[in-house]
Amino acid sequence: MSSWQSLLDLASPTEERNPATEDLDTLPAAALTARILAADAAVITAVQALSAPLAALVEDCVAAIAAGGTVHYVGAGTSGRLAVLDAAELPPTFNVGPDHFTAHLAGGPRAMVVAGEGAEDSAEDGAALVREQCGPRDVVIGLAASGRTPYVGGALTAARETGLVTALIAANPRAPLADLADHTLLADVGPEVVTGSTRMKAGTAQKLLLNALSTATMVRLGKTYSNLMIDMRASNQKLRARSVRMLVQASGAAPEHAAEVLEEAEGSIRVALVALLAGAEVPAARDAAATRPPDPSRVGDPAGIRAAVALLTEARR
């Protein structure tokens, strides 16, 4: 039996026909878009049902990065491209490098813009990736809409064999690769609007889970104060303006004063914020921030901003 023939009976909602859209090609544009968006609405509920296992995975990712490890996304096709997108957006948002989150796409970088679907069939390539690029403190997260992709399976198998924490994000509650994962996030989104087109509901579910995972991990690592991204890279005029706006929002300072303090702090939002909140000079704020660095074990203040401000406030008494 050919390998493709063995997949004819694959148990996955992504391969089933959606009875609500069997008349899809007969609909005018207004009804067509309404039907597609109505199906998408169910994705939110399916993802929210995974809050608890997602939180457990976040804690393992935080622990890994805090110990010097890296979170590796491994995927193919749409799943892999969404992983690349999530990892690529973390550096400017939270000022982190690929030593925190990195993504591996079957077929390499070219597969990001030119489909190379055949690359997903190599379990050996997935295993080689883990053996060559993963360290002893790392986390390996496989992404496969159907939950059976060989490339992802090879990576998870190799990671499991070397004792790494593993996870699987899929849109199949009966994912064949689930037994290889310590954490399983299997979004039950049902059949796609267009049968087998996992760039639709399955892709949306995976994007939501990835965004929530990486954002929650960054928050726990102290990359925000309140809901403000205090470590972002202000690499253009829009982001420089956002830096000043955040300081104003957090401290109540006048924009002109906030901009002056930020400049004196050499662009460090973290240092400028400590100075403004404590009413202190920038050199003192820099020292206080250095003695209270980000620490995920500091409950209620992982960024250390509140602790640094308290240190300066106490010193004046």
**Band of the pLDDT at 116, cuts 50, 70, 90?**
low
| Sheet of 101-105, strands arranged across | 101-105, 71-75, 139-143, 165-170, 183-186
pLDDT digits (tens, 9 = 90+) for 84-93: 999 999 999 9
Average pLDDT, the chain: 93
In the annotation, is 89 catalytic?
Answer: yes
> What number of other Cβ atoms are within 10 A of residue 317's Cβ?
4
Cβ atoms of 186 and 147 within 8 Å: the answer is yes
Least Cα distance to 14 among 44, 39, 50 occurs for: 39
User: What token pair was written down for 305?
Assistant: 């901003």
Catalytic-role residue among 59, 89, 260, 264: 89
| Confidence grade of residue 1 (pLDDT, cut at 50, 70, 90) | very low
Q: Is 222 left (phi over 0), alpha (psi -120 to 50) or beta?
A: left
**pLDDT 10s digits, 159-181:** 999 999 999 999 999 999 999 99
Region 116-140: what's the mean pLDDT?
A: 90
DSSP code of residue 267: T
Instruction: State the pLDDT at residue 6.
Output: 53
Half-sphere exposure of 31 (CA within 13 A, CB side): 8
**pLDDT tier for residue 4 given thresholds of 50, 70 and 90:** very low
Nearest Cα to Cα of residue 93 among 227, 253, 194: 227
Look at the block and give the residue holding tokens 């999530």. 86
Look up residue 228 and give its DSSP letter.
B
* CB 137, CB 68: distance < 8 Å: yes
- Mean pLDDT over residues 19-36, rounded? 94
What token pair was written down for 307? Answer: 């602790």
pLDDT in tens, 228-240: 999 988 888 898 9
Residue type, 21: T
pLDDT for residue 257: 97
256-296 pLDDT tens trace: 999 999 999 999 999 999 999 999 999 999 999 999 999 99
Which strand (E) or helix (H) includes residue 166? strand 165-170
Q: What percent of the chain has pLDDT over 90?
A: 82
In the residue annotation, 120 being an active-site residue is answered as yes
Report whether pLDDT(11) > 90: no
Count Cα neighbours of 272 within 13 Å in the Cβ-side half-sphere.
28
- Where do runs of H (alpha helix) occur along the chain? 29-48, 51-66, 77-94, 123-133, 150-161, 201-220, 237-251, 255-264, 269-278, 282-291, 305-315
Task: Pick the closest to residue 286 from 306, 266, 301 (CA basis).
Answer: 266
- What's the length of the chain? 317
For residue 241, pLDDT over 90 is answered with yes
* Structural tokens at position 46: 């399916």
- DSSP code at position 117: G
Per-residue pLDDT, 111 = 75
Percentage of the residues of the chain whose pLDDT score is greater than 70 = 95
The per-residue pLDDT for range 193-209, each reduced to its tens digit, is 999 888 999 999 999 99
Inform me whether the pLDDT recorded for 117 exceeds 80: no
End-to-end Cα spacing for the chain: 80
Given the residues 15, 22, 117, 120, the one annotated as active site = 120
| Predicted local distance difference test score (pLDDT) of residue 141 | 98
